[in-house]
Amino acid sequence: MSWQLAAWLMLGGSTLLLFVGMPVALTFVTINIVGAFIWMGGEIGLSQLARSSVISLTSFSLTPIPLFVLMGEVLFHTGLALKVIEGIERLITRVPGRLAVVAVVSGTVFSAISGSTIATTAMLGSLMLPVMLQRGYHPRLATGPIMAIGAVDMLIPPSALTVLLGSLSGISISKLLIGGVMPGLILSIAFVIWIVVRVRFTPALAPGEHEVALHKGWARWRPFVLYVLPCLSIFGVVVGALVAGWATPTECAAVGAFATLVFAAGYRALTRRAMMQALRGTAAISGMILFIILGATTFAQILSFSGASNGLVQQITGHGLSTGAIVAAMMGMLIFLGIFVDQVSMMMITLPIFMPVVQALQIDPVWFGVMYLICMQLGLLLPPHGLLLMTMRGVAPPAVTMAHIFAAVAPYVLMSLLLLAAVFWLPAIATWLPKQIG
């Protein structure tokens, strides 16, 4: 069988099953069984498929995933997230679009201790959106910042999807985690600037700020000192240990999870019920991710065994295109896929093709990986099926329509595209900090 037919069967079949609504993990397990039977020798191939599946899940590099997820689950289920928002809200005063700015800053803090974009968006949407609407904020200004900063969660460590990308692509997980810090912070700052400028020119978008009660002295700083600083210190320990090379990603994840539990216990918020909810949420999310890894790893192996991977690489690199043009084309394909499929499906479909090309052209894997993360972050916000758009629709009141949500996210999508272009032309934005860890 030719490599072209193998590529159509493996890649086309998986894409078709995803579009008809089959779950991601089940899609790739089905394709893997068919592929192993055809190209790896029938029953012998199925036995090898089972062995490869077990090996793919016993990798020590996957350990940070449940630990990073646990950090965010504990924060949300113990109610400490409310205290963090209060601490940030009391410090930010007399700023145009104040509550929208609070949402962005709060989301950035949550990104530093949570590995779930959906959890961050759902929490901020359910807590802050009703308050903003009640104070007269336009639905576009109220929903846009919450969705945008929820997507940034993917770039700022700890991020379970970043660990997943590093594991599936072979890129250094620690460098990939660190590489997303600067782009994530740049986006957060850009969001704040946009909100302030937008509201200053159109004050009707965010009325009612004169009604806010101002706190002075220790009453203003108390929630920040008691709740926000400890959260930021957890981020500082995790990222600092990675940058300094003192600990592996797994060790940093363990320290971060332990510090989060101590933080919650210190405020007597770690009740038995909250702990059980956090553990159940962690088990559900981690189990889903590990089952997806099982399918993705064996999918890449079968694609390589059939000759499709080598054939596609030679086809892509044999046209004499420059490295920049090939990378730009790959980023364009990711953005296009982001309109239709979720982030995990994007990785499953493209990484078996992209990574051999990256290796053949000797492209900096960290630079490529950070741009890949930005494209996945864009996919969360792209209409009509962006995951965070659906999340916002689920927590927003009926008065907020999908038209409001689509319009709200447009300027933040544009800023993310500008960031992608900046990283493409100035790779140091993504690679300078990871280089500091050797």
pLDDT in 10s for each residue of the chain, 438 residues? 676 777 777 777 777 776 676 776 677 778 778 877 777 777 777 777 777 766 666 666 667 778 877 887 887 788 777 788 778 878 887 788 888 898 898 888 877 776 667 777 877 887 788 888 888 889 899 899 999 988 888 888 877 788 888 888 888 888 898 899 999 999 999 999 999 999 988 888 887 655 555 667 677 788 888 888 888 888 888 877 777 777 777 888 888 888 888 888 888 888 888 889 888 888 877 777 677 667 766 776 776 677 766 676 676 666 677 888 989 989 988 888 777 666 777 787 788 888 888 988 899 999 999 999 999 889 888 876 677 887 788 778 888 888 888 899 999 999 999 999 999 999 999 999 888 775
d(CA 44, CA 305) in angstroms, rounded, equals 14
CA angle 391, 281, 173 (to 5 degrees): 85
Helices of type H across 306-318: 308-317
Q: Residue 75, exposed/middle/buried by CB under 10 A (0-12, 13-18, 19+)?
A: buried
Predicted TM-score (pTM) of this structure = 0.79
Amino acid at 123: M
| Sign of torsion over alpha carbons 261, 267, 269, 272 | positive
d(CA 148, CA 48) in angstroms, rounded, equals 43
| Sign of torsion over alpha carbons 311, 315, 320, 323 | negative
Note the pLDDT of residue 213.
57
Residue that has been written with the tokens 């990785």 in this structure: 347
d(CA 431, CA 364) in angstroms, rounded, equals 9
Q: Is residue 288 within 8 Å of residue 296, measured between CB atoms?
A: no
d(CA 432, CA 428) in angstroms, rounded, equals 5
Q: Is residue 234 within 8 Å of residue 113, measured between CB atoms?
A: yes
Residue that has been written with the tokens 């969001």 in this structure: 191
Q: Which residues contact 351 (CB under 8 A, 6 or more apart)?
A: 165, 168, 169, 296, 300
Residue among 4, 289, 21 at smallest CA distance from 164: 289
Residue among 353, 281, 2 at smallest CA distance from 116: 281
Q: Residue 318, exposed/middle/buried by CB under 10 A (0-12, 13-18, 19+)?
A: exposed
Report the b/e string of 384-420 with b at 16+ CB within 10 A.
eebbbbebbeebbeeebeeebbbbbbebbbebbeebb
Which two structure tokens, joined as six digits, stand for 157?
Answer: 């460590």
Q: Is residue 135 within 8 Å of residue 207, measured between CB atoms?
A: yes
Q: How many residues does the chain have?
A: 438
Residue-wise pLDDT tens digits, 153-178:
888 887 778 888 888 888 888 889 88
Note the pLDDT of residue 365.
94
Q: Residue 1, exposed/middle/buried by CB under 10 A (0-12, 13-18, 19+)?
A: exposed
Note the pLDDT of residue 56.
62
d(CA 220, CA 225) in angstroms, rounded, equals 10
- Directed axis angle between helix 43-57 and helix 272-305, to 10°? 140
Q: State the DSSP string of 36-100.
A: HHHHTTTHHHHHHHHHHHHHHHS-GGGTHHHHHHHHHHHHHHTTHHHHHHHHHHHH--S-TTHHH
Note the pLDDT of residue 415.
95
Note the pLDDT of residue 331.
92
